[in-house]
């Protein structure tokens, strides 16, 4: 890949401008025939899609395959995106459905325990640390690894709520829409998940949440390349 220094100034400005487009503007351009800008949407939402899929499939082996199917399915049905929900919520729901479909193909869907009383969820304050020391960064990586293991150990139905609501920082309404749940169900499951994780563990690892379930550049490039090859041949 050419370095930024080697790129013409006009190309740099063009890329910067493209990054400023909203999801809705990009969708409109794709529907008008500019397929290549679909790559911007993929790179913009890869992290969230990966986390949503991992929350359902647990294992990492199938995640990239399901990501590709999610993007291809989204592209094929892009004309059905009406903008009533945010694009990120719309495509996350596709990822959730694709993950559930993969589970059903393996006959591994486990029934959820019936919901009982609703309990309110009190969001914890975000960590205000802005310039962590190397020691703090190493500690965060360790906590992120611990958080991944704890989240993946949650029962089915709770993992996705924690992944989207806590780690991806989606709102209760967005999480409910992405998972086809009521907002009260999201709150109940989140509260119970917090009890399983223990409040102390979640508080300690909140600052490390942004580093958990990282979808790194090499994998991002691989998924984008595979999808674009399927779309444009």
Res 98: pLDDT: 94
Q: For residue 131, what pLDDT band results from cuts at 50, 70 and 90?
A: low
Tell me the per-residue pLDDT of 85-110, one tens digit each, with 9 for 90 and over.
899 999 999 999 999 999 888 765 45
Q: For residue 117, what pLDDT band results from cuts at 50, 70 and 90?
A: very low
Classify domain 134-211 by CATH architecture: Orthogonal Bundle (1.10)
Average pLDDT over residues 26-34: 95
38-57 and 23-31 helices cross at what angle (nearest 10)? 110
Percent of residues, the chain, with pLDDT higher than 90: 48
Res 202: pLDDT: 52
The mean pLDDT value of the chain amounts to 80
Domain boundaries, the chain: 9-108+216-232, 134-211
Q: How far is CA 172 from CA 3, 165, 169, 183, in A?
A: 41, 7, 9, 6
Query: Do 227 and 158 touch, CB atoms closer than 8 A?
Result: no
Least confident of 15-19, 126-130, 138-142, 203-207: 126-130
Q: For residue 174, what pLDDT band results from cuts at 50, 70 and 90?
A: very high
Res 215: pLDDT: 79
C-alpha–C-alpha distance, residues 82 and 80, integer Å: 6
Q: What is the DSSP string of 59-91?
A: SSTTHHHHHHHHHHHHHHTGGG--SSS-HHHHH
> Which is higher by pLDDT, 227 or 107?
227
Tell me the per-residue pLDDT of 210-222, one tens digit each, with 9 for 90 and over.
667 777 788 889 9
Least confident of 158-167, 179-188, 194-203: 194-203
Q: What is the pTM of this model?
A: 0.68
Select 9-108+216-232's CATH number: 3.30.70.1150, 2.40.50.100, 1.10.1740.10, 3.30.1490.110.
1.10.1740.10
Does residue 74 have a pLDDT over 70? yes
């Amino acid at each position: 890949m050419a370095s930024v220094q080697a790129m013409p100034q006009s190309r740099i400005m063009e890329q910067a401008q493209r990054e400023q487009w909203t999801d809705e503007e990009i969708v409109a351009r794709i529907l008008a025939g500019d397929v290549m800008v679909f790559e911007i949407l993929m790179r913009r939402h890869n992290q969230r899609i990966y986390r949503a899929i991992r929350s359902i499939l647990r294992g990492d082996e199938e995640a990239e395959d399901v990501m590709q199917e999610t993007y291809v399915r989204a592209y094929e049905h892009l004309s059905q995106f009406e903008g009533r929900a945010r694009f990120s919520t719309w495509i996350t729901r596709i990822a959730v459905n694709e993950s559930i479909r993969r589970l059903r193909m393996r006959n591994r869907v486990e029934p959820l325990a019936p919901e009982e009383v609703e309990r309110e969820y009190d969001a914890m304050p975000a960590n205000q640390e802005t310039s962590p020391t190397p020691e703090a960064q190493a500690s965060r990586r360790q906590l992120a690894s611990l958080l991944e293991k704890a989240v993946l150990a949650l029962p089915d139905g709770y993992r996705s709520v924690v992944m989207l609501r806590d780690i991806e920082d989606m709102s209760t309404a967005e999480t409910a829409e992405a998972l086809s749940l009521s907002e009260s169900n999201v709150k109940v499951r989140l509260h119970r998940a917090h009890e399983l994780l223990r409040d102390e563990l979640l508080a300690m690892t909140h600052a490390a949440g942004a580093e958990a379930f990282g979808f790194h550049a090499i994998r991002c490039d691989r998924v984008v390349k595979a999808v674009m090859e399927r779309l444009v041949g």
